[in-house]
Structure 1
């Protein structure tokens, strides 16, 4: 096996001190008044022999690993996979690498993953917190590790967060369905105390109250088997003779579409939170409340990097508007409504 090139090997080969090589490799040549000719000589040799710095040793010197921990609900969900893609790109541009994983709304798993990242001394965290993580997030803060919450926040823990305006997004989607001559408009959501779910419920209720119409709400257990979810969604839509439905997540909407197709039941007018690959391809195409992923992730990285650098004067609590993307499922005349 080829021997790894060390700084001492470079110094010996060039007949200079290890300290001089170290200063040049750490961009301190001008500060230490090392000549341009010597700097070029060292850098050319480094390139020639393929020297790679020891990242562990570098992190011990600088106090930074240049690694960020990203913990999301489910990396397989198209929304979170897109988020990860943008965060990885923007973090790289800022000089950082990302380690990411899914928590699957499992509080114990989330705590273990966060502790693992802390043991690896990541420079900061971006977390979509599951329920029951209040003490864990507070502990990160107490250890002076920068953290930004994303998608939802914890009201009892004072920290940076970047979220979407879920209440207004749900209000506008519900209002759109109501304005298209739908009287019986339902919400299919989850039993959850997470802020994004509460806000979506509030937005739906605001629109229903504004139109002075009865609300129809179905909540499913978080993490319920898909077949159970499909059965409950189907029963809710059929028994209540829904004209239209707002789904609070994209995966609930997918379960609903599957259930209706399997039983050959006409699709009520519908809208869903968050894009999904299926929604543009489905016939009719599905109306969505789309979160601005590019803007969300830009704010996330800027907030976290500023905190790592010690430039955060105060906590940043940022809310980004959603966009209602109207497609065929909420406006076309479908074959016939459920009777």
Structure 2
């Protein structure tokens, strides 16, 4: 295996001190009054041998790696993928690279990923955190690392976060179903103590309570195996024949629910009206098109990266953390409209 060239190798080959080589490669030649002739000779040699600086070593010298760690629940999920792409574009324009990873809502995995990011000397963290990592994030903050959360936050951690008004979003969607004349409305979601999921359940409950309607809630344990999500939804809809509408708490459980409804040969909205959280192409192309709670993806991404860049550029440790709450848009389509 070919040995990777170091600054010492270049210095020895050109008979120049490694400190001088380092100043030249870090753009400090003028500051250190190094001759243009020597700079030209060094840069010519570096180009000839194809020398690539060790980014980790450089980060130790400069205190910056110009990388950001982005941790989401599932990078393949359309919601997280769209936000990640927008964040990456803004970060790149500001001189930063993004390292992505999926936590799968797994506490231990997330802790290992934080350790990996620490080892890589990332400059800041963006995360949609699972439960149980409060101490790990507090440790990052104590070490002066900026952390911006999105989609949800951890109440015990005092840091910046960007999220949407989850409670009003499901209240508004449930209210729409009630206004259409539906009375037996179910809420199907993942079992979770995360802030955004608890608020979505509460919004549904508040809307039904205001109209004196009965709650019908199914909380499914999150699993990578889709069959283990589809099975309890099938059992729930089979046992609750009187249901006339269902609100799904995430796009993932919404697509699983649509598969169940299709397999049971139920007609939407004649047999069962449908609304799902998080709008994306599958819902628009479905027959009939599915009413969805659309999150302001671009606005979320813009706020997240703006807050982090401000922290990175200003290093304003004393600045109070921001909590930004954005509005959603209920995209009403045929799946929730009462057939007259």
| SS of match in other structure, 2:183 | coil
Assess, with a 3 A threshold, how the Cα gap between structure 1 residues 9 and 189 changes in structure 2: closer, same or farther.
Answer: closer
Cα deviations across residues 85-139 of structure 1 (Å, max 9, x unaligned)?
A: 1122222112111111111111111111211221222212111111222222222
Q: Secondary structure at the match of 1:132?
A: coil
Matched, 1:149 2:153: no
Aligned to 2:78: 78
Q: Given the alignment of the two structures, is residue 93 of structure 1 paired with residue 100 of structure 2, yes or no?
A: no
Q: Distance in 1 between matches of 2:236 and 2:5?
A: 67
> Could you tell me how far apart the structure 2 residues matched to 1:122 and 1:220 are?
35
Q: Which runs of 5+ in 1 are unaligned?
A: 335-339
Which segment drifts farther, 162-171 or 309-318?
Answer: 309-318
CA pair 43-237 structure 1, distance change in 2 beyond 3 A: same
Structure 1 residues 28, 71: CA separation in 2 closer, same or farther (over 3 Å shift)? Answer: same
The 3 A distance-change label for structure 1 pair 224 and 77 is: closer
**Which structure 2 residue ranges, 5 or more long, are not aligned?**
none
Alignment check: 8 A CA contact 1:71 1:102 kept: yes
2:254 match: 253
Residues 120/4 of structure 1: CA separation in 2 closer, same or farther (3 Å cut): closer
Counterpart secondary structure, 1:99: strand
Match of 1:319 in 2: 325
What SS does the corresponding residue of 2:74 show, helix, strand or coil? coil
- With over 3 angstroms needed to count, the CA separation of the structure-2 counterparts of 1:244 and 1:121, relative to structure 1, is same
Which residue in 2 is equivalent to 1:290?
294
What does residue 218 of structure 1 align with?
Answer: 218
The alpha carbon displacement at 1:289 in A equals 1.0
Distance 1:229 1:56 in 2: 42
Q: State the partner residue of 1:186.
A: 186
1:241 aligns with 2:245: no
TM-score, structure 1 as length reference: 0.85
Question: For residues 4 and 193 of structure 2, what CA distance do their matches in structure 1 show?
Answer: 53
Greater Cα offset, 58-67 or 7-16: 7-16
| Distance across 2 between alignment mates of 1:163 and 1:2 | 49
Task: Report the Cα distance in structure 2 between the residues aligned to 1:289 and 1:298, rounded to whole angstroms.
Answer: 20
TM-score by length of 2: 0.85
Q: Report the equivalent of 1:337.
A: none
Q: CA RMSD in A?
A: 3.0
Match runs of 1:153-164 below 5 Å: 153-164=153-164
Aligned ranges 1:2-81 → 2 under 5 Å: 23=23, 25-28=25-28, 31=31, 52-81=52-81
Q: Distance in 2 between matches of 1:292 and 1:326?
A: 16
Please tell me whether residue 202 in structure 1 is matched to residue 202 in structure 2.
Answer: yes
Q: 1:331 — aligned with what?
A: 337
Q: Distance in 1 between matches of 2:339 and 2:231?
A: 25
